Every structure is written in structure tokens, then in C-alpha cells.
A and B are shown apart, each in its own frame.
Chain A
Amino acid sequence: MSSRFRNSCAILAVAVLLGACDREERQSRAKPLGETVPAAASPDTIYPGDPSRARYVDARGASYEGNAFAIAQGQQLYNWMNCVGCHAHGGGGMGPALMDEKWRYGGRIDQIAASIYQGRPNGMPAWRSKLTEDQIWQIAAYVRSLSGQVRKDAVSARADSVSNTPPQTQTVRQPVRPADSDQQ
């Protein structure tokens, strides 16, 4: 092997290693204090006189969405906290489906986190004092993965259940429709 070839191999390897880091990054000492879940992000809120706010998206969401650890933890919490009892594995039941394109209260990850944190009027329980915000973001990231919104290399390739839904690596990405069309 020529030294030039060896050098380029080394550079490539380093790049690949560094690039894969954020997918697996784990923050075991996540921020416990302070409100990280947006307080009043109702879907497509009207901001009179301040239309720029309408495009504000919480930056934290992106780091959870691309993180395989967060999605895997979210999957485990989704089963433990009985989300699966109302929403099944995305198909719904007592609660609406989470794997389709309809979102009553918004389908962005911060909107989902807000719904979990605050509860919602038609029966979604409020988890604000039952789960830490880090756990809520993890569940929100997993919920996003149910409709194919997250990177395919961050999702689990195998569902740990008998649901027979296609593995998440094959989920087709659903567009997130504006929530107002589904308000009841």
C-alpha cells in the first residue's frame, strides 16, 4: 500500500467515525431543570402582527430526531407508559393513529412533545409531572419515527412486538398535514 493511499484511507475512516457519532450520542446527564418543552405551541398558532414567530421551530427537536438512542429509549417508554394501549403501534385505537399524515395537535416533534407534556382536551393524558422532559422528547422522537419522519439509519430495524407492521427502516415518510383541518 502506498503511503498516499494509506493516508486517504485514514482520513476517510476518521470522517466516517466522526460523522456517525451524533447518531449514537448519549447524554446520560440530560438537563433536568428548566422547561425545555415549549409552553404554548398549539398547532399552527396565529401570531398577530408577528408572522416570523410562525416559522419558529425549537432546535432541540432535531437532535432527538436523529439520535438512535433517543428513538430506542422512546420506543421502550412508549410501551411502558401505555401509549401502546391507546395508540397501538401507530394505528390508533382509543387514541388517533400516529403513523398517518393527520395530526390534530400538530405533527412537528416539538408539537408532539407539547401534547405529551400538557395533555389534550379529548382524552390525551398530561405527563408533565410523570416523566422528565428528556423522556418526553424521546417519546416524541419515537412517535415521529412511526410515520417515517426520521432518518432511516436511526430507527430500529426490528419491532419488538407481534404487530407485524413493516420494520421502521421501511416506513414510508408521510407528509405532515396542517393540524387545523382535523380540529373537531
Chain B
Amino acid sequence: MRRTTISIVAIVALVLAVSLLVWALGASRERSAATADESSGNSAKAIAAADASPPDDGNWTMPGKDYASTRFSALRQLTPRNVGKLQVAFTFSTGTTEGFEAPPLVVGSTMFVVTPWPNKVFALDLAKPGAPTKWIYEPNPAAAAKGVACCGAVNRGAFYSNGRLFLNLLDGHTVAVDAGSGKEIWRTKLADIQKGETMTMAPLVAEGKVLVGNSGGEMGVRGWLAALDAGSGQLAWKAYSTGPDKDALIGSNYRAPYAQDRGKDLGVTSWPPEYWKIGGGTVWGWISYDPKLKLIYYGTSNPGPWNAEQRPGDNKWTAGVFARDVATGQARWFYQSSPHDLFDHDDINEIVLVDWPAPNRRRIPALIRPSRNGYFYVQDRRTGRILSADPYAYVNGYKGVDLKTGRIIPNKEKEPKKGRVVRNICPGPPGAKDWNPSAFSPVTGLIYIPHLNLCMDMGVMNANYIPGTPFVGADVKMYAGPGGNRGAFSAWDPVRRRKVFEIKEDLPLWSPALATAGGLVFYGTMDGWLKAIDGRTGRLLWRFKTGSGIIGQPISYRGPDGRQYIAVPSGIGGWAGRIVTGELDARDPTAALGFANATKDLPQRVSKGGMVYVFALPQ
């Protein structure tokens, strides 16, 4: 009797213990799944922010395609099945030989081609065979501006709005051109080349304001974002990236998500005395706009000089992302991705606005961005709070991002010191990805990132500030990172926080990406191949060798005959292609701020050029 009782008790106890164990294990797995689920929301996809991404009308009126910067075309004619038959429809030579980065714009039956210096604009009539030129706009910017443009005499594009084209000239002017006639309506001077300032970015026009920023983070230039009135060109407001709060337009509306970005006059107190005046933080990259929240989002460049020992402190408001009210410029929030930046990791990369699937089936207004420092950030775009920050490339310069404090954790071993060389810092100065923007497809829910795999050796020395000359203080030598490939094209799932596929490229990828609803993704390589891949698997479906390297934005539009066209600029240049456009000598590996060593073979493989190629399926 006793034995039976004991055995029953033992069995019950055993069963209880086992079930307890199972439950505990299950709970822990659930917990880890829950953390993934928090951001995966039961495998839902991110979709483009609705207000910022209107239905596609077949045009391409702004470099990012829409205010959300998706670079996604909803045209479906081209599919993985038929893209193999894609052929050249017509070509156009601009006659320029600097890096060709600007996307052609298409409005109705006119294509607008914006060239690098001397910043000409050509209007091509797409309705006629061969797309003849309708008008040419020649602004004649100063040639001396080429001497203070760090990374090629490039231009990242114009913006079409209300019958006008808005673009920046290299020598520091913003112009408005009538799209019908090519006549200049107004020209406003904003930047001074005598101080080393130039302008290369593509404006964003919203709510009657033309938003433009300066370049010159390597020249000791103080960065700013300005808003001009679209009608008259008069300055409406200007927000500096360094200096007192009244210059940075930080007022009562400002709420930083993390303590590291809260305080009074941080743009002065986080610098040694007077260094904020030559501190960088230029705005030479991309701006996105949320028409519902009326906020613009953009990033600021690296602080100057590259030698961080000269500028102790967090160096606000450089290397971070601002959200500002478009009408007044007042800052809503700011997040500094790289406080006291050590490696020239600007934060000006594209910011894609998406509606994020939250666990409770709701959607959070979010922004996603592959940052230069190697981390893919997902942030709530109302507050700036980070939802996730994961490395999308090989990173050893940082140990991670602390999501509680929001602060990136630098790797002390990789901190450059005066008089020494620190070796194998990844990613190098152009980062895991430089300015060339990625494309987001709401169909697949993936973001297609053309990026780099470069590491560097860096030695720093005292930088001497002389206006109009470089303010750098560093000798850098770059080379391929782990794996030996210098570039990579990745498809990243922002919700599941992982890479879906990666295509290794021999040369660094300096061209933007294009995604289409037909399931295709286009990008170009530095030796001139325009490639079409399957958006789900990454398989190469079609490619075409253009005459020069591709570093410009491929676009897709609906032509007057109803066909879907793909247009891409082909002209090597920019920082990565400087060895070709500048005819540099790679025997000095520090040439072109270190890029010459990483692109030693480029002059053999590609020459300068400046042509637009347009492709379509045969009729």
C-alpha cells in the first residue's frame, strides 16, 4: 500500500517536474520570440508611409520618387520574365566628364537631365523619336568651386514642383528654372566658396519652401539647412547644425528622445571654444518629408576636423538626424548616431518613411535608414525613439548601440591617436554605405541597399584651419574588408532585422537602387554594368554595359507611348571614382582621402563619361 502511494506520488511529482521544465523552456523561447515579434508583428511587412507616398502617376518628379524616399516605381510592365528582352531605346550625351549622380526627372513627356559641374539642365522631348533637346539651361557656375568640392564636382539632382525645376549650383547658388522654357526665374546665393562651401545636394520642395543645405565638412565649414520661398527665392529660415540654440532653431518644441541630446546650447557646450564655428555638420544628403506630421527629416555630416582629438566633446549637432517643422524650421527632435565621430561617419544617408507593423496590429509612423556607421536604424518618426539598430555590414569600430540610452558604443581599440596608425577599422570613412540611396519595395517589404565593404588604416595629426583649404588632419588608406569584395548589394528585411540576400560585388557600389512593382530591382556598378535582379531572390536577370561607370540614380517612368522605361545616368566620378576623374596616382595610397588605394584598378576598367541611357522592351 505504502509503496503504491509512494510510486503514485513519485509519478505525479515527475510529471509535474517535467511539465514545469517544458513550460519554463517554452516560456523562454516565447520570450525571445516575443522580442522578435515585438518588431515583426506576426510577420507583417513595413509599408511606405501613405501620405508621403502617393499612387504612382508614371512620372519621376523628385530624386527620391516621393517624399517618403522609396525610390519605388509602381509600374508593372517589366517583370522577371520579360526583363531579359530589355534594350536601349535612346541615349543622350551631356558632354560632361565629372561624376554623374543626378537622376533624370520625367514630367509628362519631358525628361530633364541635370549634369555635374557646369550644372547644365537639358530638357528632352520624349514624345519625339530620339528624344531631341527642347531647351538647355547653362548657369555657368564658377570653375574655382571644383577646387573646394571634396568628392567630385557632382550634383545629386533637381526637384520638379509646380512647373519649375529647383537645383543647386556647385558654387553655392540655388536656382529656380521654368520647366517649360528653361529660363532662370531666380538665383539665390547661399554658400561662399571662399570659405570652402559648395552645394551639391538635391533640394526638396514642400509646402512652398525649397529646402537646401551646404557641403564642406572636410573644409571646416559650418553646416546649415535653409528654406527658400519657392516663388521668390527669399530666405525663409536657416537652421545651423552647430552653435547656440537660436542658430540651430532649437526651441520649446524640441524633445530629444535620449538624454545624450538634451541640454541647453549643446551646439556650443559640446565643443572646445570657437570650434563649432568651423565644425561641419553640413547638410549635403537626402531630405524626406511627412506631409501629415509636417516634418522634414535629414541628417548632418561629420564634424570637422577628422582628427577627433582636436575637438573633445560630443560635437552636437553633427553626425545625427534632425526632424524639423517644415514651415518654421524649428527642431522637433534630434538623434546623434555618432557622438564625437571618429571616422568621418556622416549621417546624411536616405531616410525612408514607412508605416511600421506594431504587435497590436496598429501601425507606427516610423523611419528606416541604413546609416553610414554600419547600423540599420528603425526609429519612431514622431519622437526619434529607436525601435532597432542592427549592423547590416561588418563593423568593428563600434560595439553596438545601447537601446536604453540610445548611445552608440565605440570600440576604444579603434580610436585614432595622434602620431600613430590604427589599422583595420571597419567600416572606413565612406562607411558601410555612403550617399547612394537604397530603394524600398512595399510589395516585398524589403529595402535594397547598395553598399560597401571597405576598411581603413587611419593616422591623425594636427589639422590647421585656413579658410578655403581642407581641414582634415588625417591620413587614411582604404582597402577591401573581410571577404575581399569591395562592394555588396543587400536586401534587408527591416521588420525581421536580417539580410535576405546579398550579392558580392568586386568594386564598391556607388550607385543608388531602384525597385519596381514588377518585382525587379536595378542598380549600377562602378565599371558600368546596369543590372536587373529579382527582388525576391537576388538572381541576376539582365545586365547591360554602359560606356562609363554608373554612380547615378536609375529611374523608371511611363513614356508617352505607355511603355515602362528605365533611365540611368552613366558617368564615373564622385569620391569613389575620383581616381579616374582626377587622374590621380595610386602609388600614393592616401590620395583621394584614402580611396585611391581601394580603387587602384579602376582607371584600367573605366573612363570618364556623361551619358544617359534609356531602356524599354521592344515594341
Verify B457–A165 contact, CB threshold 8 A.
Answer: no
Verify if B261 is at the interface (C-beta below 8 Å from A). Answer: no
Most A C-beta atoms less than 10 A away, residue of B147, B457, B461, B468: B147
Which residues does chain B contribute within 8 Å of A165, judged by CB atoms?
587-589
A173 to chain B, nearest CB (A): 14
Binds A, one of B60-68, B407-415, B434-442, B590-598: B590-598
Verify A88–B147 contact, CB threshold 8 A.
Answer: no
Verify B469–A125 contact, CB threshold 8 A.
Answer: yes
Binds B, one of A2-10, A40-48, A64-72, A95-103: A95-103
Whole-angstrom distance between the alpha carbons of A95 and B149 in the complex? 10
Render A106-133 as a binary contact track against B, CB cut-off 8 A, 1 for contact. Answer: 0000000000000001111100001000
Verify if A27 is at the interface (C-beta below 8 Å from B). Answer: no
Render B138-164 as a binary contact track against A, CB cut-off 8 A, 1 for contact. Answer: 000001111111100000000000000
Binds B, one of A14-22, A29-37, A51-59, A156-164: A156-164
Other-chain residue from A88, A90, A97, A121 in contact with B583 (beta carbon distance below 8 A):
A97
Residue of B nearest to A82 (CB): B469
Verify A96–B471 contact, CB threshold 8 A.
Answer: no
Which residues does chain B contribute within 8 Å of A88, judged by CB atoms?
584, 588, 590-593, 596
* Residues of A in contact, count (CB < 8 Å): 31
Whole-angstrom distance between the alpha carbons of A163 and B466 in the complex? 23
Verify B592–A91 contact, CB threshold 8 A.
Answer: yes
Whole-angstrom distance between the alpha carbons of A106 and B393 in the complex? 45
Verify B469–A161 contact, CB threshold 8 A.
Answer: no
Verify if A89 is at the interface (C-beta below 8 Å from B). Answer: yes
Verify B591–A93 contact, CB threshold 8 A.
Answer: yes
Which residues does chain B contribute within 8 Å of A93, judged by CB atoms?
150, 578, 582, 584, 591-593, 596
Whole-angstrom distance between the alpha carbons of A79 and B145 in the complex? 22
Whole-angstrom distance between the alpha carbons of A92 and B458 in the complex? 18
Verify if A85 is at the interface (C-beta below 8 Å from B). Answer: yes
Render B551-590 as a binary contact track against A, CB cut-off 8 A, 1 for contact. Answer: 0000000000000000000000000001000111111111
Which residues does chain B contribute within 8 Å of A125, judged by CB atoms?
147, 468-469
Which residues does chain B contribute within 8 Å of A80, judged by CB atoms?
464
Most B C-beta atoms less than 10 A away, residue of A80, A90, A94: A94
Verify B469–A81 contact, CB threshold 8 A.
Answer: yes
A155 to chain B, nearest CB (A): 15
Verify if A86 is at the interface (C-beta below 8 Å from B). Answer: yes
Render B444-478 as a binary contact track against A, CB cut-off 8 A, 1 for contact. Answer: 00000000000001110101101011111001010
Verify A97–B589 contact, CB threshold 8 A.
Answer: no
Whole-angstrom distance between the alpha carbons of A99 and B589 in the complex? 12
Known: A82-B464, A99-B587. A164 touches B477 (CB 8 A): yes
B609 to chain A, nearest CB (A): 15
Which residues does chain A contribute within 8 Å of B461, judged by CB atoms?
79, 161
Whole-angstrom distance between the alpha carbons of A123 and B591 in the complex? 17
Residue of B nearest to A160 (CB): B461
Verify B144–A123 contact, CB threshold 8 A.
Answer: yes
Which residues does chain B contribute within 8 Å of A162, judged by CB atoms?
421, 457-459, 475, 477, 590
Whole-angstrom distance between the alpha carbons of A93 and B582 in the complex? 7
B353 to chain A, nearest CB (A): 34
A165 to chain B, nearest CB (A): 5
A9 to chain B, nearest CB (A): 44
Whole-angstrom distance between the alpha carbons of A99 and B587 in the complex? 9
Whole-angstrom distance between the alpha carbons of A89 and B458 in the complex? 15
Verify A85–B146 contact, CB threshold 8 A.
Answer: no
Residue of A nearest to B473 (CB): A85
Which residues does chain A contribute within 8 Å of B458, judged by CB atoms?
162
Residue of A nearest to B586 (CB): A91
Verify A86–B147 contact, CB threshold 8 A.
Answer: yes
Other-chain residue from A85, A91, A122 in contact with B472 (beta carbon distance below 8 A):
A85
Which residues does chain B contribute within 8 Å of A86, judged by CB atoms?
147, 469-470
Verify B468–A94 contact, CB threshold 8 A.
Answer: no
Verify B470–A97 contact, CB threshold 8 A.
Answer: no
B226 to chain A, nearest CB (A): 24
Verify B591–A91 contact, CB threshold 8 A.
Answer: yes
Which residues does chain A contribute within 8 Å of B469, judged by CB atoms?
81-82, 85-86, 125
B163 to chain A, nearest CB (A): 35
B587 to chain A, nearest CB (A): 6
A146 to chain B, nearest CB (A): 9
Verify A94–B147 contact, CB threshold 8 A.
Answer: yes
Residue of B nearest to A124 (CB): B147
Within 8 A of B (CB), among A123-181: 123-125, 130, 161-166
Other-chain residue from B143, B470, B591 in contact with A92 (beta carbon distance below 8 A):
B591
Whole-angstrom distance between the alpha carbons of A121 and B590 in the complex? 25
Verify B584–A97 contact, CB threshold 8 A.
Answer: yes
Verify A164–B147 contact, CB threshold 8 A.
Answer: no
A144 to chain B, nearest CB (A): 15
Verify if B218 is at the interface (C-beta below 8 Å from A). Answer: yes
Verify B466–A123 contact, CB threshold 8 A.
Answer: no
Known: A82-B470, A123-B144, A123-B145. A97 touches B588 (CB 8 A): yes
Whole-angstrom distance between the alpha carbons of A28 and B204 in the complex? 57
Residues of A whose CB lies within 8 Å of any CB of B are 79-82, 85-86, 88-97, 99-100, 102, 121-125, 130, 161-166
Report, nearest first, the 10 A-B pairs whose CB atoms are least far apart: A123-B147, A85-B470, A91-B591, A91-B588, A162-B459, A82-B469, A97-B585, A92-B584, A88-B591, A162-B475
Give 21 pairs: A residue, B residue, CB < 8 Å, sorted on A. A80-B464, A82-B463, A82-B470, A88-B588, A88-B596, A89-B590, A89-B591, A90-B588, A91-B587, A91-B591, A92-B584, A92-B585, A97-B584, A99-B587, A99-B588, A102-B583, A121-B143, A162-B475, A162-B477, A163-B588, A166-B587
Please give 7 more A-B residue pairs, beta carbons under 8 A apart, in addition to A88-B590, A96-B584, A97-B584. A85-B469, A88-B596, A91-B586, A93-B582, A99-B585, A163-B589, A163-B590
